[in-house]
Structure 1
Amino acid sequence: MISLAVFDMAGTTIDDGGAVYHALQDAVCETGATVAPADLQTWMGTEKRAAITALMTLGGRDPRPAGVVDAAFDRFREILAERYAATPPAPIPGVPEAIAALRASGIRVALTTGFSRDVASGILAELNWSVDSRGAARADESGAMAGVILDALVCGDEVAAGRPAPYMIHRAMERTGTLAVSKVLVAGDTAVDVQAGANSGAAHSIGVLTGELQRTDFPAEHTTAVLDSVAQIPAYLAAAELDAAAAYASAASATSLL
């Protein structure tokens, strides 16, 4: 039985129109580096300073001089803010309902992201999504219920290394009181999302097709399943539980015949 679902943000639960992709590309190109599309996709989903450092190196620009990466990171944030102001991010259709369904069934939901805490918190605030480790939906001042409620948020600047390292997932377990990684499901729209899930030991490491990747782009050795969207995860888990129950019944029946 899954007790914690860990989802990526941009491209997985939130539609940002590719703003992160373009902001990262533009910020690195401004340093004089050349950014190959394949390299950009490889580093999507990782902690952004690490991504900038790698992309500068790959693109022929030395990232070692003091302040160069920090300046590029600041430009990334500026460009991203401009793009979000022009086209605000929005929940991917069906995802708020899926998160609510998971939490109603007793499964805690955490978001992980390569963003820094200030950027991630700002995005969630714009969406009226909030983190409440007590697990209770809250009403705002008008009495209306708050938007999406999450159990935890873990950001790339809060761990020793970002994806594909498993540390954000393990930190989400810590913050939600989840003891067994065998009860964790991870989902994301990039290869490093599913690699991090596999590296964490999660029971399910799922790729979703709401980002830039196609079904065959997810590494088979790290991917439990590929779904169209996080919106399908409640149904996926229900089917998995039915399959497990059927397998258990079959094994019990076979044992009784011995």
Structure 2
Amino acid sequence: MTETPFTHLKAVVFDWAGTMVDFGSRAPMGAFVEAYGRLGVEISIDEARGPMGLPKRAHIAALMADPAIAARWRAAHGHAPGEADIDAVYDVFVPLNEAVVTDYADMIPGAVETVATCRARGLRIGSTTGYVRSIMERLTPIAAAAGYVPDNLVCAGDLADGRPGPLMMYRTFADIGVFPPAAVVKVDDTEPGILEGKAAGTWTVGLSVSGNMVGLSLAEWQALGADEQAARRAEAEAKHRALGVDYVIDSVADLMPVLDAIEARMAKGDGPSA
């Protein structure tokens, strides 16, 4: 009997910061705060985290649209923030992020092993990111030295549009030669990254603990008591569930049982949630 293309998964597409590297997705946060600070406007780490996962210029635009930040910008500069102001922050932000990204380049525990197991199952490994290519040019050699080399890389700015739309996923499908989308899993820690997968028609797996929604380093997370960990995990899981994600796990280290569950559902004719 000939097996249908929908019986088994063909690929997993991973985000980068908070998913495969940089537990807590901390590298961009100080750069956002510093970039605004250099232009006379104070923002908090929590505010900076809000739009995480978007391409970085879009992230800055989303921050500028926040009424509180816009009011601070008006007070500092005498006018509401516009496109030129977004560009000004972006031009300061990118070199700052380039400078610090290598300080937050440790692989998330279990990431390399998970990818090796995926490859042993015959799965292709795709990657998309909200980072621009100049930042990734600093990060990818460190990841490669640690044993992580995905089959492709699509960066913010590579295409006419990025997250939360599907174009970076479409490019990934073409790059790694996989189809249909329902045979692909997108793994991400951010809202725009999950919505990117859903827009493209893939299965989606949200990461609750290792990424932006908790936002703590591994050491900070491990230092929490069990009750505090449970509360923060539950809060992050609820955010993912509200997006209609198919599965939520703590980190990429917990992915393999989910892939088994997805393939069991595929064998019954199930597909990703709409």
- TM-score higher than 0.5: yes
The match for 1:4 among 8, 11, 16 is 11
Does 2:75 match 1:75?
no
Q: In the alignment, what sits opposite 2:257?
A: 235
CA deviation map 1:229-249 (0-9, x unaligned): 11222221123334555x58x
Task: Give yes or no for contact 1:116–1:157 (8 Å, CA) kept in 2.
Answer: yes
Deviates more, 1:57-66 or 1:174-183: 57-66
Give me the CA root mean square deviation.
2.3
| Equivalent-residue separation in structure 2 for 1:200 and 1:40 (angstroms) | 27
- Relative to 1, partners in 2 of residues 1:156 and 1:70: Cα closer, same or farther, differing over 3 Å? same
- Counting only pairs closer than 5 Å after superposition, residues 109-148 of structure 1 correspond to structure 2 as 109-128=125-144, 147-148=147-148
Which residue identity is paired with 1:163?
R
Hey, which of these two has a bigger chunk of helix by percent?
2
Higher relative contact order (CA 8 A, sep 6+): 2
- Relative to 1, partners in 2 of residues 1:73 and 1:16: Cα closer, same or farther, differing over 3 Å? farther
Taking structure 2 as the reference length, what is the TM-score of the superposition? 0.75
Deviates more, 1:115-124 or 1:210-219: 210-219
How much has 1:169 moved relative to structure 2? 0.9
Task: Give yes or no for contact 1:13–1:230 (8 Å, CA) kept in 2.
Answer: yes
| Equivalent-residue separation in structure 2 for 1:115 and 1:29 (angstroms) | 21
Point out where structure 1 has 5 or more consecutive residues left out of the alignment: 130-145, 249-258
How much has 1:35 moved relative to structure 2? 3.4
Q: In the alignment, what sits opposite 1:64?
A: 82
Q: In the alignment, what sits opposite 1:253?
A: none
| Equivalent-residue separation in structure 2 for 1:149 and 1:221 (angstroms) | 29
Q: In the alignment, what sits opposite 2:211?
A: 211
Taking structure 1 as the reference length, what is the TM-score of the superposition? 0.79
- What number of residue pairs does the alignment pair up? 228
> Secondary structure at the residue paired with 1:15?
coil
Q: In the alignment, what sits opposite 2:22?
A: 15
How much has 1:100 moved relative to structure 2? 1.3
Task: Give yes or no for contact 2:39–2:89 (8 Å, CA) kept in 1.
Answer: yes
Does 2:118 match 1:96?
no
Task: Give yes or no for contact 1:28–1:52 (8 Å, CA) kept in 2.
Answer: no
Point out where structure 2 has 5 or more consecutive residues left out of the alignment: 1-7, 74-79, 214-235, 270-274
Identity %: 31
Task: Give yes or no for contact 1:28–1:56 (8 Å, CA) kept in 2.
Answer: no
How much has 1:176 moved relative to structure 2? 0.8
Does 2:224 match 1:224?
no
